[in-house]
Chain A
Amino acid sequence: MKYKSNFFFEKIFKTILKITSLIVIGIFILLFYSLVERSIPSLFQNGLEILFGTSWDPNFEIFGGAPAILGTLFSSAIALIFALPISLCIAIFYTEYGPVRLRPFISGIMDLLAAIPSVIYGIWGLWTLSPILKINFQEPIIASIGFIPIFSGPAYGLSIFLASLILTIMITPIISSISIDIFSKTPMHLREGMFALGATKWEVIKNVVFPFAKRGVFAATILGLGRALGETMAVTMVIGNSYLWPFKSVSLFASASTITSKIASEFPESVVNLIHNSSLISLALILLIISISINFVAEIISKKSVGG
């Protein structure tokens, strides 16, 4: 009797687990299905315009996504260019040069920076950082080297530059925490082998730690990139949401759009116009494809790094 009831419960338990797994798989498949379904009207009407078109005017049903797509790629790339060296420096300080006592503080700072909601980065960027940067950074630069197109005026406080800066602050904790983990795993016997040859700390970092951590840091960078590409609130609040950049002005200080800022700022009003709504969702689909392929690459690389 007891054996039978156990068998029964075992079966029920397994079935429940299987059903929940199928639900999650279902959600996953449905996600793609419904985004594709909602994108179809736009894809039919706009065709490749959604990828390459440079203007966007719902009144005339013109939906060119290029400025938003480029804005997404560009702001994320700039953020990465700053965040990667900063993160490496933090990881170097944490694992090599800094006193062990400081470690909990550094990881605390990184964890809290990563935890702050993006809408709070947004309000801070919009009302605190933007006016300060406009007066003390953008305007002096425009006044001195404004003849170079990418630094030309006028100074929009809310700009692709500000968005990239805030993205840098937001993704640095991600890249640096993973880098710290990987740096700490550098085998002691390799470090010591290099020290025993009379190497300085920096030479040990360069010759032993970096080669060891290379792949993992790359995967971390891709992860940070994925986060930057999909970041919505902070970017929407500080980028200005105009379609100026990069076809009407190439200035870093011009306001611009990203895929996410376009969607967040126009979605509610788009609900009344199927093509408009569908075009925004096809932008989301493009973002989804970009971010999935990037995560896929990171996955492959980090799996390989386990072996070497």
Chain B
Amino acid sequence: MPVTTPSRTSKAAEEMPASELQGLVKTAEAETKRTTAAEGLLPLKEKAADADDPETATDERGSVTPARPRKARRDASDAAAAAAAGRHISSLGDDILLEIFLRLPSLATLVRAAYTCRLWRRAVASSPAFRRRFRALHPPPLLGFFVNSQNVPSFPVFVPTRPRDLDLAAAVRGGDFFLTSLQGRPEEPICWEIIDCRGGNILLLNSADKMLALLNPLTRQRERILNPVPQGVYHDFVYNDVGSIFCSDEDPMSFLVAFLAFDESRSRIQAAVFASGTRPLLRRTFKLYRLYLPGMPPVYCVGPLVAGSSGEAREKHEQPDRSVVFLCLGSVGADNHSRDRVKEIAAGLEKSGHRFLWVVRASPPEDEPENKPFDPRADPDLDALLPDGFLERTTGRGFVVKMWATHCGWNSVLEGIMAGVPMICWPLYAEQKMNKVFVVEEFGIGVGVDGWQQGLVRAEEVETKVRLVMESEEGVRLRARMMEHREAAAMATKDGGSSQVAFSRSLSDAGNLSVDASLVT
């Protein structure tokens, strides 16, 4: 046994992927479509080609050359005679043909058989049931092992099992098991380690620059580089080699890669999910996590958890629907409400001309020593904070709340979704950056403000984004997507909705749990 220990050095046996079959199928399906279209146009010609009796006979005679061995000549002339009589193995129906194909000894023989002619290819391509049966009867053969190297620079080493089977040997020769395409990348340091292997795909992590690479050595398909570090996210997280590939049996081109990162205490986990096709949802992330990583603590998706509406937004209700910009920049971060920020926001709001409701908190005193704890409940001095004359000029359309508010971060996002209002995102710290990625890039229900990474968003940018959301076509689209999410959130919290169900399950499971269950809101 070459590799039995579960150590880090002995990962990822590489198998001949069943998905190859679908690669073939994919091509063939495209082919089928083309042929079908042609049939519509040229029924007679197509039909003649299908029947192909006279042609067969002629061509066969032509193709029998004196150089051919006796046996082959006999076979061919037999076949020609049969073809002339219209009773020919090439004219078997799909059902029977597929029964024959099921008895082929390997995937490689099936691939060759399928490419013998278009009808045969179409037969294989058009039957998912056949492909499932074939896979079940032909478990993927073992081509060899990848071994992660301990040295630096590190690069996985492939150890072939040196199969006797000619087809398998050819497979090893034909593939890129030295991962040369990856080695040739100047962008990344040579610190690659295989962290998962499935369906012929391998997933590698670059320990130096935190990149993932997904590739298929057998098909020499170019690697895809996946970056689990969207700007600002994950920076304080420790990486672990917890990543998984999920691939579809039916569509080899589609994949899902899940990658988990932990903070140092392992109390928080971040998950990145990459999908080849449709955009993944957060909910899905955790479902995968729960289903496929049984060693991890359970996760219950009990969200959205939002407190009932308070009376604080009365001012909003006296305004026309969908006309008020609501601003709040969090509760506890001392730096959230610096004077510069307040000034820029004020100017932006004023210029946008839209109605607003703005939660302003006291700024940390600039002249006091740093070590004095910031008191978020201190009474803000509005006259000092806001530009001269701001309150007067915006009377009637602006309302500044002098209070400590409990919004921002994930709570605000959830409240925004439950209320169905598109968001302008200005992440400040902690997980807010990740939330911004979800809101803007994943859900498509908000826009980010430029400049947040530099710490200060200019008044013009505030005005631009307020106008974009309130006035533009894009704003309408944001609102429409937001309504979908609002409905989904409302469904989740109804009786029998996912939130209710997950919460009851967490309660009923609680008896069996000792530590580490986390509730995802």
Same complex for A and B? Answer: no
On A, residues with C-beta under 8 Å from B are none
On B, residues with C-beta under 8 Å from A are none
